[in-house]
């Protein structure tokens, strides 16, 4: 018997299986790396799974919704519509975690994220995240370390991928100096 079959045999209900899957997802997200199991259980319980139809937006440019999304299935496109027409920048799919910084503070979205196909996402709100932090204040320093690591890793990757080929890009490097 394989481990997924064993896990399904242990699940008492669909909700129990979904809860365990949510815990497993949180363990894989770099934003939550190194957190103890108990706060991850609370987040897994509070997270909601939402399905977005093709063309429906998970979030819109300009809004400050205070939500983070983990894409479980489907594809979503990131776009910017500064001139009124949405310009596709990139796309995201299963395993991508987006919007973690919105959990930490009031942030206006710079982009829209819209479903290209049906998307199932695990959604965490700032309010539910704040409840978890209030219950487990000791995780705050670890979360800050994770954010610093993510910013540094992003800038390092951006630098090596673009700075040599794009002078304008090189002139804007330094977010990790903030």
Q: The domain that contains 63 carries what CATH number?
A: 2.60.120.10
pLDDT value for 4: 44
Which residue in 43, 74, 82 sits closest to 58, CA to CA? 74
Q: Is 119 part of a structural domain of the chain? A: yes
pLDDT value for 158: 80
Number of domains in the chain: 1
- Domain containing 21 equals 13-128
Q: How many residues appear in the chain?
A: 178
Q: Is 158 part of a structural domain of the chain? A: no
pLDDT value for 84: 58
pLDDT value for 87: 84
Q: Is 29 part of a structural domain of the chain? A: yes
Q: Is 98 part of a structural domain of the chain? A: yes
Which residue in 147, 139, 148 sits closest to 42, CA to CA? 139
Q: Cα–Cα distance between 174 and 42 in angstroms, integer?
A: 35
Q: Is 96 part of a structural domain of the chain? A: yes
Rounded average pLDDT per 10-residue block, the chain, 178 residues: 46 79 96 97 97 97 96 96 75 97 94 97 98 97 95 85 72 69
């Amino acid at each position: 018997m394989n481990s997924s079959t064993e896990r399904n045999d242990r699940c008492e209900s669909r909700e129990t299986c979904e809860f365990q899957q949510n815990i497993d997802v949180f363990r894989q997200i770099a934003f939550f790396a190194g957190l103890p199991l108990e706060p991850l259980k609370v987040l897994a319980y509070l997270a909601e799974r939402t399905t977005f139809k093709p063309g429906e937006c998970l979030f819109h440019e300009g809004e400050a919704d205070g939500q983070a999304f983990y894409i479980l299935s489907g594809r979503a496109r990131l776009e910017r519509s500064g001139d009124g027409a949405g310009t596709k920048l990139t796309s995201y799919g299963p395993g991508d975690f987006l919007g973690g910084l919105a959990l930490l503070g009031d942030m206006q979205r710079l982009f829209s994220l819209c479903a290209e196909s049906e998307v199932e996402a695990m959604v965490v709100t700032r309010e539910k995240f704040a409840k978890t932090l209030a219950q487990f204040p000791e995780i705050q320093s670890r979360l800050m370390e994770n954010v610093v690591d993510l910013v540094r890793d992003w800038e390092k990757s951006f630098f090596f991928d673009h700075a040599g080929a794009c002078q304008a890009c090189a002139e804007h490097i330094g977010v990790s100096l903030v």
